[in-house]
Amino acid sequence: MISFECPKCHAALNIEDNQAGMPTQCPQCGNVSTAPEKLNPAYIAGELKSRCSATTLAAADEQNKKWCALCHIGGMMFILSMQFKASIGILPLVPLNILLPMIIWLMKKDDSPQINQHAKTALNFQITATIIYLILCLLGYFIGLIPLKVAVILNAIFSIIATIKIATGREAKYPFIFRFIS
């Protein structure tokens, strides 16, 4: 039995020894690649190197995943900023939903392309949400505050969904977003 990794999706593949060196299709992504030779010294050295680096990459990916999830949970922070506003009677200068992804982006954007991308996406969505909040606050005198409450709840729901998707290793996408930071 020969075990190797799909070069496209990194799925674990197992083939019989008599299939060594033959084209093999990945059942997960459909990519066709040549199976390695079982006794090929270059393959064995590459396999050892990939297994050693895979452990290091997995730890780094797990840390990146935590930072990315933290970026997206920032939408829940708007509810805290509303509580802060209610307790002191003024709206904070920078809404907390923008502050968390902004701090993470400024601190970690050079550490990982994944953190950079997720922080920018979360920040753009929270800026968009804040603009919508401000518009709905101004319109609140005419249409009431129910649309604002719905927008706050939707922001929290979208943020939770994005956080859960990132924590489970899936791609997070928001339904609408204006790109202020690219």
Residue 180 lies in a domain: no
- Same structural domain for residues 83 and 6? no
Q: Are residues 97 and 130 in the same domain?
A: yes
Dist CA 43 CA 110 (whole Å)? 33
Per the CB < 8 A criterion, the answer to whether 151 and 136 are in contact is yes
Amino acid identity of 159? Answer: S
178 within a domain of the structure (yes/no): no
Q: Is the same domain home to 108 and 157? A: yes
Residues 52 and 73 in one domain: no
> Residue 85: what pLDDT?
55
Task: Show the tokens assigned to 4.
Answer: 């190797």
pTM as predicted: 0.60
Same domain, 38 and 116: no
pLDDT digits (tens, 9 = 90+) for 90-113: 555 557 778 888 888 899 888 888
Range of the domain at 75: 61-167
The amino acid present at 96, given as its one-letter code, is L
Over residues 139-152, the mean pLDDT reads 83
pLDDT tens digits, one per residue of 29-82: 888 887 776 655 555 555 545 444 333 334 457 788 888 888 888 777 766 666
Per-residue b or e along 142-175, where b marks 16 or more CB atoms closer than 10 Å to that residue's CB: eeeeeebeebbeebbebbebbbebbbeeeebebe
Residues 92 and 20 in one domain: no
Residue 76 lies in a domain: yes
